[in-house]
Amino acid sequence: MLNTLLGTLSEGVAASTSSYESIATATGTGSSATISVSSIPSTYASLQVRATFKATGTGFYVDDLLLRFNSDTGSNYTKHSLQGNGSTATAVGTASTTSIDCGRILSSDAALANMTTTVIIDIHDYASTTKYKTVRIFSGDEGNISNTSFRVFLASGLWQSTSAITSLTFSTDAALNFTSATQVALYGIKG
Amino acid sequence: MATTYDKIASTTLGSASSSITFSSIAATYTDLRVTFVGASTGGANLRLQLNADTGTNYSKTNLYGRGATADSARSTNFGPIYIADDGITSTPHFYAIDLFSYAGSTYKTFLWEGSEDNNGSGSVVRGVGLWRNTAAITSVILYDNGNTFNSGTTATLYGIKAA
């Protein structure tokens, strides 16, 4: 009962501990600008990604973290976000775009040593072959620096495809490589 | 597949208290999640302290909606983080905190959410926090300076394990 209640009240909580299973993990190598989870089975009601991200590159703090499904690079995504940068709250929406934003990824600048971006993504009804796919994202990057580059990031995304999602691919806007501090865990939630 | 979402511990206050502590947390999981549902007759503010560290080793950025206003704020080189945006009232407030890679050797980043409705006032808040310490998290303290959480306040610690 407690878990059912908390599942109703909060983001990213499985309704029952027995219905939440680990599917796969992926770790950055430092030499690839993408990180993927593939061969996702269609046996769950929803998916949840819990991840830490870190990119290569120095001399700047952040880059945009992007998500695509089934290797689709077409303009088949739409997105809305609500962001807080430590100074103001802003909202933005984009239609017919080529990826879904997942917030900001921290670079490997010396000022950000030992720090990572954290992300929770919920993908509902991902195995449907009749409906578009809706995604919820909650992420944040914090650098202990008074700079508006760092964000709390809430977003929704839509992939306009009726194909079942069988793979997820993350990349960055500037095609930075993912370091070994990037650890993506994919979970399945049973219906 | 093995179950990967476990309740580690849960506490319900039998009397008013200024803190709830989860200690001796094993490094068994990938992430931790803490939930809190509580009330306060003194206007307590929920704060998060890790491994009993009271130093200015925390920072945060939050995003909140309070009435008709949406805004964001940041604190750097701060003490234990204020998770609450508004003081907790006699109306129960809900908070959830996700602690990522808590047993790893990098600094610890966490996300949190708060629901603080008081029938005429209150906030909704989301935040990201950083604890600049490479030690594994072995204890989580939810507390307030000077005020107390009411009897019946509940906190639960979950562990989430990746394959």
Task: Write down the domain spans for chain A.
Answer: 19-189
B22 contacts B10 by C-beta, under 8 angstroms = no
CB atoms within 10 A of CB A84: 28
DSSP output for A106-153? E---GGGTT--EEEEEEEETTT-SSS-EEEEEEEE---SS--TT--EE
pLDDT at A8 over 70: no
Residues from chain B that touch A3, judged by Cβ atoms under 8 A, are 7
Tokens of B88: 């907790």
Note whether B28 contacts A: Cβ–Cβ < 8 A: no
HSE at residue A115, side-chain half, CA atoms within 13 A, is 27
**From start to end of B26-102, where are the E strands?**
31-38, 47-50, 58-66, 69-78, 81-82, 93-99
For residues B147 and A30, what is the distance between their CA atoms, to the nearest angstrom? 48
Q: What domains are there in chain B, each with its CATH number? A: 5-160 (2.60.120)
CB atoms within 10 A of CB A167: 14
Give the residue from B31, B163, B37 showing the smallest Cα distance to B102.
B31
Nearest to B109 among A86, A115, A185 (CB): A115
Note whether A25 contacts B: Cβ–Cβ < 8 A: yes
pLDDT at A6 over 80: no
What's residue A130's pLDDT? 98
Pick the CATH number of A19-189 from 3.30.70, 2.60.40, 1.10.10, 2.60.120: 2.60.120
Listed by number, the residues of chain A in 61-120 with a beta carbon closer than 8 Å to a beta carbon of chain B are 82-89, 114-118, 120
Tokens of B50: 């890790």
Note whether B56 contacts A: Cβ–Cβ < 8 A: no
- CB-count burial class (<10 Å; 0-12, 13-18, 19+) for A30: middle
For residues A158 and A134, what is the distance between their CA atoms, to the nearest angstrom? 5
Cα–Cα distances (Å) from A36 to A32, A39, A40, A45, in that order, read 10, 10, 11, 20
CB atoms within 10 A of CB A169: 19
> Do the chains contact at B59 and A17, CB–CB below 8 Å?
no
For residues A122 and A157, what is the distance between their CA atoms, to the nearest angstrom? 10
Nearest to B60 among A13, A23, A142 (CB): A142
Global pTM reads 0.93
Compare A102 and B41 and report the one with higher pLDDT. Answer: A102
Q: What is the pLDDT of residues B89-147, one digit of tens each?
A: 899 999 999 999 999 999 999 999 999 999 999 999 999 999 999 999 999 999 987 89
Q: What is the pLDDT of residues A118-150, one digit of tens each?
A: 999 999 999 999 999 999 999 999 999 999 999
Mean pLDDT on A156-173: 98
> Do the chains contact at A116 and B106, CB–CB below 8 Å?
yes
> Do the chains contact at B163 and A22, CB–CB below 8 Å?
yes
Residues from chain A that touch B134, judged by Cβ atoms under 8 A, are 114
Q: How far is B83 from chain A (nearest CA, A)?
A: 14
A108 contacts A172 by C-beta, under 8 angstroms = no
A186 contacts A168 by C-beta, under 8 angstroms = yes
Cα–Cα distances (Å) from A114 to A1, B32, B108, B111, B156, in that order, read 38, 19, 8, 17, 28
What's residue B163's pLDDT? 86
pLDDT at B3 over 70: no
Task: Count H helices and E strands in chain A, helices first.
Answer: 1, 12
Tokens of A182: 């990037």
What's residue A17's pLDDT? 52
